[in-house]
Chains A and B, each alone.
Chain A
Amino acid sequence: MAFVIYELNGNPISLAVTRAWRPKIEETAGNTPEDIDFDFYHMNGYTGVYWNYRGLVYYLVSDLPEKVNIHQLLDWSAS
């Protein structure tokens, strides 16, 4: 699993990436950024969002307030 850290005004945001293990994910995963389905979760006081993209699973977690929709700021144009 790749564990990457970003920062927004001093608040760390982590993005963990791993390979999709289920063929189901590969079938239904968004192959274009517009197709991505975001799932939200709460765990141990943190809010997170996870999604599939081109055979990979992404988990984003931060201690930012829920209303900061970081995932909407993702830019895949360089990938």
Chain B
Amino acid sequence: MKECEEIKVLMDIYLDGEFGEEDTQRIQNHLSTCSGCSEIFEKRQQFLNLLKESEIRKEVPPGLELSIRSKLRKTELQQQKKPSFLKARSILAMVLLLAGIAGVGLYVLQKFPFGSEEDADFLRVVTRDYKDYLRQELPLEIQSSDREEVIRWFKNKVNFNLILPSFRDRNIKLLGGGD
């Protein structure tokens, strides 16, 4: 488990291809035996690919920069509490990140606009799925307004126990879902 935490931190540096043979070997070994980490790794890799093909975000909403800075500060504070091995790497990563903001601010805003790469990754996917749904390019695999039925349908489709809220406003109706 501790190993997994380390691997998750090192993953991004590994993805950037900045590791020597020994570290690369270690990460590869771990990824080949740990399904949890390899799943995360694939998501990050997909995100990087998505990033490469996606259009550069041109306008930045007011207040966003401030919120990024505050999130980065929070991350920095959290990193400081970690053990020294991670700390050195994290500080290096943070320095690179801050240098990135100064140099290619737009790129960084693109890559880390929501506090973490995973958040940005998922937000991108979610927004794209939503857009596809609006264009009727993403049909629902289950059509039901029954919350329990939808949860049951997801049981073998996703690797977690889905907790689905309902809405207090009766005008908001459940239509269905897909995975």
Contact = CB atoms under 8 A, between A and B. Distances in A.
A79 interface: yes
A22 B8 CA distance: 9
Contacts of B133: 5, 12, 14
Contacts of A41: 113-114, 123
B126 A73 contact: no
B147 interface: yes
A38 interface: no
A1 B126 CA distance: 9
Given A1-B158, A48-B127, A59-B126, A78 B147 contact: yes
Interface residues on A, range: 35 or more
B174 to A, nearest CB: 5
B130 interface: yes
A2 B127 contact: no
A21 B159 CA distance: 12
A17 to B, nearest CB: 6
A73 B172 contact: yes
Interface string A19-43: 1011110000000000000010111
B172 A70 contact: yes
B107 interface: no
Contacts of B123: 41, 43, 48, 50, 59
A62 B173 CA distance: 14
Interface of B: 5, 8, 40, 43, 61, 64, 78, 113-116, 118-119, 122-131, 133-134, 138, 140, 147, 150, 154, 157-160, 162-169, 171-179
Given A3-B129, A53-B163, A61-B127, 12 more contacts: A5-B175, A12-B175, A19-B158, A22-B116, A44-B128, A48-B127, A56-B163, A63-B134, A73-B169, A75-B166, A75-B167, A79-B164
